[in-house]
Structure 1
Amino acid sequence: MEIKQDKAIYLMGLNQGLNEQNVNELYVEYKRKVYTIALSYVKDYYLAEDLSHEILIKCYLTRDKFKGDCSFHSWMYRISVNHCIDFLRKSYRKRDLLYEDINIFNSEDAYNPESEVLNLCDQEELRDHLRQLPSKYQEVIIHFYFKDQSLRDIVNELNINLSTAKTRLFRAKKMLREFYYM
């Protein structure tokens, strides 16, 4: 383990820049460790992958702050844990704010006949725009938003790849946006 530690310190080049090959070596060496830490916090494979990339970039950008007082692995571990905790704090705040906003719209004070008519008109307009989408985009939108299914459920039900489902959802939302902003 000490050999890897020396290699990491050498590759970090405290007083010199990293070249692309050295960055790739560090990335390959530490990506699995960082991914495992992120996965232990967020419990979602895709999210953990995104977080691990963010963490590795953060470590690269702040590499000059590593002074060698601790092992390189400990330094990266602490950055990984702090990043994951910060992420979870931010996501919980966003959820709370969203929940509070929904409660405002569901309150009795917000209900009136005018708002109901406007809501029905908006729903009808949305249905019309959905009908104009190609069927492969319609089904992904309907499953995701109206049936409240996750991307994994959609992939299993429609028998398509995850990347295909993500692409179709992205394109469908883009088409709907274009309908509204024409």
Structure 2
Amino acid sequence: MCIYYINREDLTYESAEHILMAGIGGMKTLPKEYVSTQFNNDISKIEQEFLRESLISLPRQFLGPGKRGSLNPKYQSRSKVHLLRDSTDSEFSLGYMQKGTPYLIPQFKLNLNNGEIKIIINNNKPDKSNAILDNFHRNLQNPETLQIKRIIDNRLPENIIFFGIQDGIEEHFD
């Protein structure tokens, strides 16, 4: 019997619930028959928002743990895509933070006042510039597969629009 959904009868028990969220390092779980799969699925949406949107997301971006509590670099936590500001020239770009390091995503910056377009490619991978541009172009040719996210930030002038594409960067879009 599920300790949370006490009055429901249509429950299954396929996974164990972490006592403390895996995203903050919890490794111990309750026995499978204590928490239903349905509750686990429902609560995981709330946990994910908490881990990404609350203050707890800041230390996770710098120190970990990563996905499902893992310390493996392959599963490191990263922030959502947001505006980053370069400390050397105060320019904005789209990117995310992972283990305290900012990463830009491929993007173009459009100035609506003068029509200027600036192409920005991740400066951490200069040897892959052509492949990144090819992928960017390929994605633009299939607009029905694009996941759109609007970022509103009062630091950005109204005449500037960013358009960035990178596969697998965020899982959920509004």
TM-score for both structures, normalised by structure 2: 0.18
More helix, by proportion? 1
More strand, by proportion? 2
TM-score for both structures, normalised by structure 1: 0.17
* Larger Rg belongs to: 1
